[in-house]
Amino acid sequence: MWLDKKGNVNMFDVWAEYFFFVLLATGFIVSLFAGSAIIGYIVIFLCGMMAGRLIYQRQEKLVAPYYLILVGFLIGFIIGSRFGNKSVLITLFIAGGFISYYIHDRGILHDVAF
Amino acid sequence: MGEITDLIDKIKRYYGFSPSEIRGLLVTIFVIAFIISFKEWGNGDEVDIGSGIFNLIVAILITAISLFIHESAHRVSSLYVGLRAEYKPWTFGLIVGLIIAFLSNGRIWVLLPGGIIVHHLSGHRIGWWRYDIAYVTLGMLALWGTLATLLFALLLKVLNNLVSSYIIEKALLFNIALALYTMIPLPPMNGSKLFYGSRMIYVFSTIFIVVTSALLIIDINPWLSVFSAFIVSIIGWVLYYSYIERNIWQGPFGGMKG
């Protein structure tokens, strides 16, 4: 079902998987630039905050593919991180996501879909 | 004269910032100040808290004044045409700026503060053509913010030539960077509104802002910079029309009518 009549991959049907790999590569590259464990922790926390915002905006809509994409980014980041503990990275990513979701949910930070 | 009196009255009534706007501006000012003062927390690996806090406060002042000028230009120009601009921060852009600052150790500034949304002042809009908010109007209002930032940079350059100071230089660099970043055609930045409003004006103003910014960084006469940028913009504008716009423009309704 992912292939059209000519046997080519239909990108509109597999966009989530496609972006999973794109974000995996992005996460890998971003983590390579982190020069120390602290920088890596801060960056993954901020990325978690962006993920929380994304999930907040997509609530009650199509959420599952976004989780897949975010997991792709996290995996890429962990593979590329040279410093720091992997468990801490995962924890900070999730914590950032929860905090960002809470901030948006409580209306502390308004964001307009321009 | 009547228009001026009307504008002064509208400024008195509608200029004030709402609490949510002030909160958004404070978050934006702090984040951007942190980004531009990131590499000023000591030499090398040594962290100097005292000088770091001092530099952060200086950066907060620079950012606050610059954003105030930027947003005031949006606000006053909007009120002039019977609309009210409201500043909205862009969380995504601010976080991206922070991430890039951490990864580049403060060497790269990514300044994506946010944009404006425009409210229609029904009574004050009477007599304006068109009565509703048009894309081109929105684009021009957005452009006024960037032009005010550029004008402020120009004044800082003149001031820096008279009284050379590190703070003025930093403010100059910040305003140039802000003017350039706000012209990116990425929602909600000013550039996106102008791009969708009028591509011809977008091209002209972007070339003007880029060339003026480049010439302001180089140590030449500021007024000569503006004049040269104006000439280059006209040339770029004509070239853009001749080679691109003339071929892609499909008429006033995008080729869908008539």
Domain definitions of chain A by residue range: 44-114
| Mean of per-residue pLDDT scores for chain B | 91
Average pLDDT over residues B127-133: 84
Chain centroid to Cα B103, Å, comes to 25
Q: What is the pLDDT of residue A2?
A: 59
How many percent of chain B have pLDDT more than 70? 98
Q: Residue A46 is nearest to which of B95, B104, B115, comparing CB atoms?
A: B95
| HSE of B237, CA atoms in CB hemisphere, 13 A | 17
Q: What confidence tier does B257 reach under pLDDT thresholds 50, 70, 90?
A: low
- Specify which of A43-52, B63-72, B95-104 reaches the highest per-range mean pLDDT: B63-72
The answer to whether residue B34 scores a pLDDT higher than 60 is yes
pLDDT of residue A9: 67
Q: How open is the CA angle B86-B87-B91, to the nearest 5 degrees?
A: 140
Interface test with A, best of B25, B87, B94, B102 (most A CBs within 10 A): B102
Distance between CA atoms of B115 and B175, rounded to whole angstroms?
Answer: 16
Higher-pLDDT residue of A111, B126 = B126
Mean pLDDT of B37-60: 85
Chain B contacts of A50, Cβ < 8 Å? 92, 95-96
Q: For the packed helices B190-197 and B135-162, what is the interaxial angle rounded to 10 degrees?
A: 130
What was the pLDDT predicted at B152?
Answer: 96
Residue of chain B minimizing CA distance to A30:
B103
Domain chopping of chain B, boundaries: 2-197
**Residue B44: what pLDDT?**
65
Given a cut of 80, whether residue B101 has pLDDT beyond it is yes
Q: What is the mean pLDDT of residues B111-139?
A: 90
Lowest mean per-residue pLDDT among A46-55, B35-44, B49-58: B35-44
**Residue B152: exposure state from Cβ atoms within 10 A (0-12, 13-18, ≥19):** buried
Of A43, A50, A114, the CB nearest to B187: A114
Residue among B62, B43, B61 at smallest CA distance from B52:
B43
CB contact under 8 A, A33 and B98: no
CB nearest to A112's CB, from B98, B102, B117: B117
Task: Spell out, as residue ranges, where chain A has pLDDT lower than 50.
Answer: none
B102–A42 CB contact, under 8 Å? yes
Q: Which residues pair with B88 in a beta bridge?
A: B115
pLDDT at A1: 56
Tell me what pLDDT residue A105 has: 87
Q: Does the structure show a pLDDT above 90 at B137?
A: yes
What ipTM was assigned to the predicted interfaces of this complex?
Answer: 0.73
pLDDT of residue B127: 84
Predicted TM-score (pTM) of the model is 0.86
Cβ neighbours for B87, distance < 8 A, ≥ 6 positions apart: B17, B21, B24, B25, B71, B74, B114, B115, B116
Contact check, Cβ <8 Å, B90/A110 = no
- Residue B129's φ and ψ, nearest 5 degrees, are -110, 125
Contact across the interface for B88 and A49, Cβ inside 8 Å: no
**Which residues 23-52 in chain A show a CB within 8 A of chain B?**
30, 33-35, 39, 42-43, 46-47, 49-50
Q: Which residues of A touch B96 (CB under 8 A)?
A: 50
Residue of B nearest to A100 (CA): B91
Say what the pLDDT of residue B243 is: 93
Task: Chain B: give the shortest CA distance to residue A13, in Å.
Answer: 26
